[in-house]
Structure 1
């Protein structure tokens, strides 16, 4: 394994909150959960873009060397046909550079979606086990580019059941 090792954690609404929202189904039949407030941060001249992607599976342990962020709008991933997927997030320093030493990683089931807040550094769509499909919603357009990709020193994501994960 290369670089620091991050054990994938189970989904945790509180731990993820500084980076966005986990999209959970309501517990009661007929109930709704609203996530609309996450959609309001965007450029005035941007427009919503909705697409479905097809993601090839990756295996754990996974060396991560590339991350992304969208400074001006939230990005939403809703699993359509996904077994499990890895989510990694990290804060920025005061200059907007990623802080890999403060990264968090989660092992998500295909029943929970993710909304990344504007400006959050994150791993791109990464499915495990088999190919997967997400519906992705974000905003594009306007005078400012909203895709920022960075190469980072390798971080290794491991399965929580991996013996190297420790206690």
Structure 2
């Protein structure tokens, strides 16, 4: 294995806050937990898109050499049938690219979703244990494309 080693952490709301928010069931005594603020303001000429992904399982250690971001829209992944999954995120550097030095990886249980903020570089959906499905919600459309992909030197994630 050649690449930068990155230890996968348990989900931590404070550590993940610069990149987005974990989506969890309401706290005891609450009927709802809202995450709508991530989807304001609406990007110009965009429409909401909801689709379902099927993702083949991966094994640890994971190697990531491609990341993506969405400059104008948040992206929400809601587990429909997921055992557990890994997210890897990184901030944007001064030149607009992914900052590998700021990379963080989290092991998320299948009963929690995730919202990536706009401009956050992240690894594609990666599940462990078995095939899985997510509902994905985000804005799409408008005058400019909102999918950017970059190849990066490998990051190897371990448990």
TM-score, normalisation: structure 2 = 0.97
1:66 aligns with 2:57: no
1:78 aligns with 2:78: yes
Q: Deviations over 1:129-156 (max 9, x none)?
A: 1000000001111110000011100000
The runs of 4+ residues in structure 1 deviating greater than 4 Å are none
Is the Cα–Cα contact under 8 Å of residues 41 and 118 in structure 1 kept in the other structure?
Answer: no
1:87 aligns with 2:87: yes
Partner secondary structure for residue 8 of structure 1: strand
- Structure 2 gap segments, 5+ residues each: none
**Deviation at residue 2 of structure 1 after TM alignment:** 1.9
Partner secondary structure for residue 28 of structure 2: coil
Aligned to 1:138: 138
Aligned residues: 159
More strand by share: 2
> 1:52 and 1:141 mapped to 2: Cα distance?
18
TM-score, normalisation: structure 1 = 0.92
Considering only aligned residues, what root-mean-square deviation do their CA atoms show, in Å?
A: 1.0
Aligned to 2:22: 22
